[in-house]
Structures are given as C-alpha cells and as structure tokens.
C-alpha cells in the first residue's frame, strides 16, 4: 500500500511540473503551480497521521506530528493566499502548532507534563503577540528576563500539578 501511495504522489508531482512547464491549465484560467501547492506536502501527511490515529485508536503519539503538520499546512496556505502580507503577524502561529500537537496528545493521555508544555509554548506565543503589539505602538519591548521568569514559573506549576496528581 505504501508504494502505491508514493507512486500516486510521484505521478501527481510529475503532472504539476508538466503543467508548470507547458502551462496547460493556465489557458483555462487555472493557476496550478508549485508555488501554490507545496504546503500540501506538509498538510497531507499531517491529515493522514490524524486520520490514522482516529481510525485505529492506536499510537496516540502520532497526533503530535499530525497536529503540527496539519496546523502548519493551514497557516502556510493562509499566508500564500494572502500573498504573505500578514506573515509578520502569523509567525507565532507556527510555534503554536507545536502546542496544538501536544494538546491533542494531552486530551488522549491526560499527562499533566504535556499540558505544562502546552502552557509554556502558548505563553511564549502570547508574549510574542504582546511584543508585536508593543512594536506596533513603538513601546519598549518586554524585558527578556521577565519572559524567562514567566516560562520558568509556568513549567514549575506544571510539575507541581503533576506531582499532586500522583
């Protein structure tokens, strides 16, 4: 089955490159080239990982890379369709995609260390957006030592919560 999927992917990739070189679909107003399609190579494996877990209910760890790749593929498509004009605001979402993958595993396993990691990553993303907002209004950026302190506190809280559970 794996060779069949790889074969189909190679055929589709060849057709896309052929279209790039000959402009077959552009005659009909359809723009289909690698500059618009490359996120599929991130999105499709992510979706396949997600589906494989929910189909078999085995190996929940596959949700982490599945969540990361799926969310990154969606964000890349948003950036492509908006001509990357919002990329200065969307870059923290790529970091958040790691938290999304870990959160999916947390929902299944209920391991509090995972939620601690999700909290730390989410805090970093929130602080990144605060930084973006501060830079937009020409206010001095947050002290990096403050950010490190908050991240250490959140990690400590996650460990304390986990130790209380046992």
Distance CA 7, CA 124 (A): 41
Residues 139 and 91 in one domain: yes
Residues 25 and 92 in one domain: no
Structural domain of residue 117, as residue ranges?
A: 39-165
Classify burial at 61, counting beta carbons within 10 Å of its beta carbon; exposed 0-12, middle 13-18, buried 19 or more.
Answer: middle
pLDDT at position 139: 46
Helix (H) or strand (E) holding 160: helix 144-165
Mean pLDDT of all residues in 117-143: 76
Residues 49 and 28 in one domain: no
Q: How many domains does the chain have?
A: 2
pLDDT digits (tens, 9 = 90+) for 14-57: 877 777 677 766 666 666 667 778 898 899 899 989 998 988 88
Residues 85 and 115 in one domain: yes
CA dihedral 155, 160, 165, 166 (to 10 degrees): 110
Residues 76 and 123 in one domain: yes
pLDDT digits (tens, 9 = 90+) for 77-105: 999 888 899 988 899 999 999 999 999 99
CA dihedral 10, 84, 67, 33 (to 10 degrees): -10
Residues 30 and 66 in one domain: no
């Amino acid at each position: 089955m794996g060779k069949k999927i790889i074969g189909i992917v190679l055929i589709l990739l060849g057709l896309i490159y052929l279209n790039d070189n000959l402009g077959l679909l552009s005659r009909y107003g359809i723009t289909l080239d690698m500059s618009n399609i490359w996120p599929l190579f991130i999105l499709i494996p992510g979706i396949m990982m997600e589906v494989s877990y929910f189909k078999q209910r085995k190996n929940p760890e596959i949700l982490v890379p599945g969540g990361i790749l799926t969310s990154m593929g969606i964000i890349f498509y948003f950036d492509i369709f908006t001509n990357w004009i919002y990329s200065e605001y969307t870059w923290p979402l790529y970091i958040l995609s790691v938290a999304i993958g870990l959160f999916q595993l947390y929902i299944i396993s209920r391991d509090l260390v995972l939620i601690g990691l999700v909290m730390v990553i989410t805090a970093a993303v929130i602080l990144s957006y605060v930084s973006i907002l501060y830079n937009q209004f020409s206010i001095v950026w947050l002290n990096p030592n403050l950010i490190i302190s908050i991240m250490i506190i959140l990690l400590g809280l996650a460990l304390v919560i986990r130790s209380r559970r046992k």
